[in-house]
Every structure is written in C-alpha cells, then in structure tokens.
C-alpha cells in the first residue's frame, strides 16, 4: 500500500518535472523569437526612415527593404504554430487570419505586382505594421521578463484603435491599385480549356479578398477591444472561439 502511494508520488513528481522543462524550453524559445522579431522590425523602421531622409521620396523605398520585410513577415507564420501547440494563449483562428492576410499582402500583392510597389498606400501599411509590431513584440518580451513598462502595455492596447483601420485602408488601397495590372496580365489565372478543366481568375479572387475584410476585420478589431478591456481595465471576458 505504502509502496503504491510512493509510486504515485514519484509519477506525479516526474510529470511535474517534465512540465517544468517544457515550460522552460517554451519560454526560452519565445524570448528568442520576440527579441528577434523586435530587432527585425526595428531594423525595418531605421531602414525606412533613413531611405526617406536620404532620398527625399518614398519611391524605391519598398524595394530597398523588401528582402528584410519578406523574411520577418514570413517568420511570423511560426505564431500560428505557437497557438496550435499551446505555448501561447491566443486563438489559432484570430492569429491565422491576421498572419495570412499579412503574408498574402507581402508575397501575392507587393512582391508579385511590381507596379504597386511605389504606391503611397504601401508606405501607409508598412509604417503601420512596423509601429504595431515593434510595440507588440516588445510587449511580449517585457511580459516574459515580468518587467513590463506601463507605456508599452498602454501603447499595445491603445494604438491599434487607430493603427488597425489605417493598416486596413493601406492594404485595401494597394489591392485596389493592383487590380488593373492583374487583369491586364492575367496573372495567377487559369483559363479554360486546360487539362485540369478548371478556371481561376486572380482578378475576381482579389475582389473576393477585399470583400472578405468586411466580415473579418470587425471580428479582429472587436477581439482587440475586448483584450483591451481585459488587460487595461481588468474585465473578465469569455472568448467564444477559444
């Protein structure tokens, strides 16, 4: 009997040790990830500011930072993984929509359609993303260190009120500017007849993507407003999608 109890206690101790090790590894990884991402977006901020002051124009700015932007924004795909394996307490759906819309903008719009790269709207969403991400990743870093300065917490849960709509305006205006080029070049489209017997028109796909902002954006925005009430005002909120 006594040996049974001892075995049970031993098993519990082992499980607790495993959990602790897992949590240490997860925290160390998140620390590395958040510092790398803060640094990446800071590099982008400095590069954009320098370019603008040296050249006196936004033309060519996107091309000058494209590689760094593509690298760090693509790296953010890992965030969906973090949610999926449960090392951060964020919804996979919310993060998935946020990250996929960014990846889409970077690879399937600005990277693919050179003619839009000098649009002012590209600069608008780049500036908004940069400010947002420097704040967000430093928020996570300082939270992990358990020394979160209030101004970072305040910025994370207030700036999005203006930044989110501005980012969406920049993204939508850029997709809209891309439409005529996509139609003219017939890019990423598949016309019938073909051996697969399917047709796909990227032009109409882009219109559908633009329309999908109507139901999706308010969900992300209201999610952030709920998070704001929870974090800044201590309200207890039950999330439906988690």
Ligand X SMILES: CCCCCCCCCCCCC/C=C/C(=O)SCCNC(=O)CCNC(=O)[C@H](O)C(C)(C)COP(=O)(O)OP(=O)(O)OC[C@H]1O[C@@H](n2cnc3c(N)ncnc32)[C@H](O)[C@@H]1OP(=O)(O)O
Q: Contact positions toward ligand X, by CB under 6 A? A: 30, 33-34, 88-90, 94-95, 97-98, 100-101, 104, 128-129, 132, 136, 140, 143-144, 160, 163-164, 167-168, 171, 209, 212-213, 216-217, 220, 224, 227
- Provide, rounded to whole angstroms, the least separation between the CB of residue 8 and ligand X: 31
Structure tokens at 83: 């949610």
Nearer to ligand X, 5 or 241 (CB): 241
Tokens 């590894």 sit on residue: 25
Length of the chain: 242
Residue 220 main-chain phi, psi, to 5 deg: -70, -40
- Provide, rounded to whole angstroms, the least separation between the CB of residue 143 and ligand X: 5
Residue 12 is among the residues annotated as catalytic for this protein: no
- Provide, rounded to whole angstroms, the least separation between the CB of residue 29 and ligand X: 9
Nearer to ligand X, 113 or 128 (CB): 128
Q: What is the DSSP letter of 190?
A: B
Q: Contact at 8 Å (CB) between 33 and 77?
A: no
SS3 of 200, please?
A: strand
Residue 213 is among the residues annotated as catalytic for this protein: no
SS3 of 111, please?
A: helix
Q: Contact at 8 Å (CB) between 168 and 209?
A: no
Please tell me which residue in 133, 171, 202, 203 is annotated as part of the active site: 171
- Provide, rounded to whole angstroms, the least separation between the CB of residue 14 and ligand X: 26
> Which of 35, 59, 48, 70 is closest to 127 using CA atoms?
48
Which residue numbers are catalytic? 164, 171
């Amino acid at each position: 009997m006594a040996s049974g109890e001892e075995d049970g206690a031993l098993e519990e101790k082992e499980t607790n040790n495993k959990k602790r090790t897992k949590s240490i590894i997860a925290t160390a990884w998140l620390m590395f990830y958040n510092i790398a991402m803060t640094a990446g977006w800071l590099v982008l901020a400095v590069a954009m500011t320098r370019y603008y002051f040296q050249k006196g124009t936004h033309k060519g700015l996107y091309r000058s930072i494209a590689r760094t932007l593509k690298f760090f924004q693509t790296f953010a795909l890992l965030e969906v993984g973090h949610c999926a394996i449960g090392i951060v307490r964020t919804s996979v759906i919310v993060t998935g929509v946020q990250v996929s819309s960014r990846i889409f903008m970077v690879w399937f719009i600005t990277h693919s359609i050179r003619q839009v790269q000098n649009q002012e709207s590209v600069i608008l969403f780049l500036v908004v993303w940069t400010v947002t991400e420097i704040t967000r990743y430093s928020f996570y870093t300082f939270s992990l260190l358990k020394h979160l300065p209030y101004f970072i917490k305040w910025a994370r849960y207030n700036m999005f009120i203006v930044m989110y709509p501005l980012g969406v305006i920049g993204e939508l205006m850029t997709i809209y500017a891309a439409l005529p080029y996509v139609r003219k070049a017939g890019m990423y489209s598949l016309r019938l007849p073909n051996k697969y017997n399917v047709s796909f028109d990227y032009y109409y796909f882009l219109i559908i993507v633009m329309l999908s902002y109507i139901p999706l954006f308010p969900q992300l925005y209201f999610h952030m407003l709920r998070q704001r009430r929870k974090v800044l005002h201590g309200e207890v909120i039950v999330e439906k999608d988690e």
